Amino acid sequence: MGLKVILYIVMLPLVIYSMGSINYEKFIKANKVIQARLLFLFIGLGLTYLSVNFMYDLFINTQIY
């Protein structure tokens, strides 16, 4: 497996777990549960993508050749 795949497997649960600390119910309209879950999923995937790319670039650029 590639390094990015491993980072995705590790970071996705961490991002979703950390997003559980946000009280997002104040920002969601009444009776819009499905849309709120989709928004939560897309924000989680976006944060995972950004985190993985940051960690990957950090790992690659700090290697000593």
> If DSSP codes are grouped into helix, strand and coil, which group holds residue 64?
coil
Q: pTM of the prediction? A: 0.80
Evaluate whether 15 touches 51 at the Cβ level (below 8 Å): yes
In the predicted model, what is the mean pLDDT of the chain? 88
Average pLDDT over residues 5-13: 92
Average pLDDT over residues 48-60: 92
Average pLDDT over residues 42-56: 94
Average pLDDT over residues 46-58: 94
Six token digits for residue 32: 């819009």
CA distances from 1 to 31, 52, 64 (A): 42, 15, 22
Average pLDDT over residues 20-28: 82
User: What is the widest separation between alpha-carbon atoms in the chain?
Assistant: 56
